[in-house]
Structure 1
């Protein structure tokens, strides 16, 4: 125990040795110690004089916070329950809401605990609505946003964080604003994986934190900001930058939740050194992590918390039963009415269930129609491309035939006449003229050959056809397709372009039917000696090992045959819930 704590205990012992005023004086000392964040001294005081310190709801609240801040959550919950009971007797609704929120936060911080914590948060919401309090509504929205954050429901989380930001500015709460930017940074870093956006929100929080000269600086807030910034740089694989922020966090002497917070930090540092292949340092921090983990013993804590929760629930249930028995006759008619309401409610619930099932079925049918519609669009696109190619080929053949008949045919007839004249009159001028006509005929044949090899898919080419397909599908607002090309300024051979178009079309069809994706990227790169095609989506993915030569499915077989026909090769990369990437290389 340090000198400061010894001084407080000396004062405490002096107080306890005196008479009637000691209770009030002890209360003032407890409050003073709490404001000074001297939690060990508060707990020591309670052990020396427990009876004097547990009659006040405020003291029970302080004891609960003190035990929680030294990571004794099971004892903290016991005192929170006592404080809640005393505030209910006093009908102090503001402090009842405060305790309910603290109990919710405590239970939410415990991993793998099987207790219904939402009842406490709902109590906060009821108080916020009843008092029309922006402060309590912001607290409710904040924890709702965190809940959606943990469940990976990103849009809902962002929505409630935005509501908290708006309310925090209305009530001029910089603390709430700082915490919300911290939460947004964590969301973008951990869930959305947009690290630059995450760093932007963390820096906004830091700016508010350091510029705030009115409120008391919360070292835990600074610790969480530094730790989360470290996490973001670690995910960016900027490990040295990550360690810089982790070490700043490690240097903070946390007055609250020290062990639990440091346990998380040590785990992060250990992971960073592991990725850096610095095994010895990684082991050092793993040892620190295990040391704290063994002290906290989360499983034992959760068991005790569950016992306390069950004990208070049972006591509340017994009290309710006694009250119910005393008013049984008075409430008999109400019970009958409630039974009738229950029957009516059951009927309504059944009808609602049937209606929900019907709507669900309609939604599934609508989804199936959308899939069929997309497949029809793809089929129409394929037929349009093929018809356009055939029409173009026919026009090309007709043009070549006309050129051969009208232009080259007439020219060759003239050459024949000149040869006949040259046979009768062997003059140099006639010889020169005949030679020029032969050269002209040769040039005509070359131009026809070049025209024939120009390639045609609707006289526009492969890239144009793919862009049109992507635009038609994206226009349905179900999936966004982007086409990125490199080196496709010159056309490819006609049949090759058509085969590549069908391969890409089949890949897009598979994505629409099976992937549940919202974004697709098509990359086409001409390397002169080979053509690289890469199609990526953000869908649900699949296990590539399940696709074998005998069991390919999902249209993969027809694609593989086309690629094999072109002497190319195809690579499939995919993981569950991580999207898919198909890479095809075709020699030119």
Structure 2
């Protein structure tokens, strides 16, 4: 296929090297006179991402160039508290601009980052094929073809096992031709998993996992080192399945020593669970118990009752083993009292079991009662919210009808009357004073034009024929002029109109958010993003104002309209997120299902 480039050939050369992690070939980028500052900044941050596994915040957050949007996507994807929604939106904006420029290299760069984001977060399974299809149309070299195969077979849920392994091996060959070591390691890791779980050939699985391990160990970069975590865990699982528990333990411990990023806490949970299981199989219940406790430090999202059961199960095994050891010592010293000790122990055990079952039954009944009470409370709250929202909607509908009535009265009744009066004055012209006629006629024209202006002004709104997007843009244009605030409206996927009442509610929400910016933010720039994802609508309003502490804002806060906005969003089954820092601006994100 033909390849189009927007940037200079030198920049494209560096991108080609970076995408295969060949950092030795890009060392001279700072002294290359043919690169501008934007290009050098992008190269620098991609190098840092490979070496350290993170990207610093972009210097120009209001810069919506392709490269800066890609960097903003990287920042939100790899920072400590990942923001999948923002990351995805910035990558999509970069892809959209790349397609408008018809830049093959930047289209594939954007697509690979989108696929990585969806692969890492497993967000919106139905979105995955859309961007995979776009990516497929721009596979211009072996590296891109290999990446496509990797992401395609990671997404498939119904696949032919042997055929898939052969396809993955073809992808591995392409990764070798492209000299992409990282992708070679990922393919070997994935092939090993298919041999392990689908065909149950542990020897073949281990062969590929060890190949992946050797590849990732050769590079000191964080991008490669982080992958050793999963590889070592997979190898340990295979040895555990073969019953070689000591070898399995060594690989689990090697994985646990790798300092992976904080956002990979689930993998930290996984490795501690594997170690606990391994010690449990070795009947070392004390260490199994210790690893369960450590695992629970990371597993704060699980149900507390389930966690207690797991801890109690291991703890019981540990205490039982300890008790058995004490009983053996006691047995050697007190042989004569053996029958009495066994009978007493049995009675205590039976009594404990009965007490535990009674306690558990009581707790379950209490929990069910609390849940029923909470459900009734939620139902009541829902009814009250619906009543309040219905009142708001009725008020809005009444206002719109009143505007329409006034507009019709002004235009049809009073406008017609003024026209009739003017006709009378035309008759007066023939018999009366010409000077008096001209003055009177001028006043009538002026009055008629004012009536038309009031009529048109009263008749304007979202429910008119212009639609949501045009109404928002007109509002932004008027506010920009009136308040010395530059507002840019960025839309994606809004080619078709939404349902009229939905457009009205969304317009009121954006109008209220804009009013907040004018009243409180002291901002000079505001961006309004409206993105239609087929099954959901994403609204993001961001400004460069003084910001605030979101923890000090409540839904009942006066003066900021938070309660009104939140009720409208809840009525649409949507979700609102507020991100702000003092002197660093504010971003409000609203997701509404369609």
Q: TM-score range by the shorter chain?
A: 0.3 to 0.5
- Report the TM-score, using the length of structure 2 for normalisation: 0.40
Tell which structure's C-alpha radius of gyration is larger.
1
TM-score (norm 1): 0.41
Higher relative contact order (CA 8 A, sep 6+): 1
